[in-house]
Amino acid sequence: MGLLDILLGRTQPVAPDLDQLFALPSAAVTLEAAAGFTPTGEGAVCFATVEGAAFEQMHREVQALLDADTDRTGPPVELRRDGYGYSWLVSRRSPDRLPELVNDLHAVNSSLEVNGFGPQLLCSLAGFTDGAGRKLALVYLYKRGTFYPFAPLPGAAERRDTALELQLKATLDGDLRIEQDLGRWFPVWGAPGL
């Protein structure tokens, strides 16, 4: 970053820090104690769909790596495409195995990054729910290195519980690097894990 960038008010983008994902298990303890939300056991990594043999090969290797885990119970890792054209690699664990789910998310992100597909990474999320059936995702923005809560309201309309999101922002601020720019709290409608 040069002097001209400083004079024009340009800032250097925050480098992704995938190790931030490992803060999720401790944040989950805070989330349960403060708001009653517990992990669902589902998590996903979202990335822009890429065509080509190199990407397909890398995807097969990541999926095989995660499916080879002998401790995994339930459905295998799966690839989904959403209505917006993005791809989601979905991992499921039992709800009490959040650290293993975080390891899965980290492995997918790292593999994409190491194989040159870092620019296609958009976000990762872990799903949570409370006793009343409300859904919540803690979303990690890859390009910002920050988290934000996303709480869709139940029903067919795409509406979110902004008051709950802001409450959880304050609750989790000591556990996670929270995205301060609320304009970057993008809705992830229909995301796996919600």
Per-residue pLDDT tens digits for 98-118: 999 999 999 999 988 988 888
Output the CA torsion 140→145→146→150 (10° steps): -20
Query: Using a CB cutoff of 8 Å and minimum separation of 24, what contacts does 184-187 make?
Result: 184/141, 184/144, 184/146, 184/148, 185/139, 185/148, 185/150, 186/123, 186/139, 187/150, 187/152, 187/158, 187/160
pLDDT in tens, 27-43: 999 999 999 999 999 99
Output the CA torsion 79→82→87→88 (10° steps): -60
Buried b (16+ CB within 10 A) or exposed e, 73-105: eeeebeeeebeeebbbbbbbbebebbebbbbbb
Tell me what percent of the residues of the chain surpass a pLDDT of 90.
59
Place of tokens 């593999």: 111
Give the pLDDT score at 65. 80
Select from 189, 89, 94 the least CA-distant residue to 137: 189
Answer for the pair 175, 30: CB distance below 8 angstroms, yes or no: yes
Give 55 or 132, the one with higher predicted confidence: 132
- pTM recorded for the entire structure: 0.88
- pLDDT value at 179 more than 80: yes
Is the torsion defined by CA of 39, 34, 123, 176 positive or negative?
Answer: negative
- pLDDT value at 140 more than 90: yes
Give the pLDDT score at 159. 93
Specify the pairing of strand 86-92 against strand 135-141: unpaired
Answer for the pair 148, 163: CB distance below 8 angstroms, yes or no: no
Residue 41 CA, distance from chain mean position: 13
Place of tokens 């194989």: 115
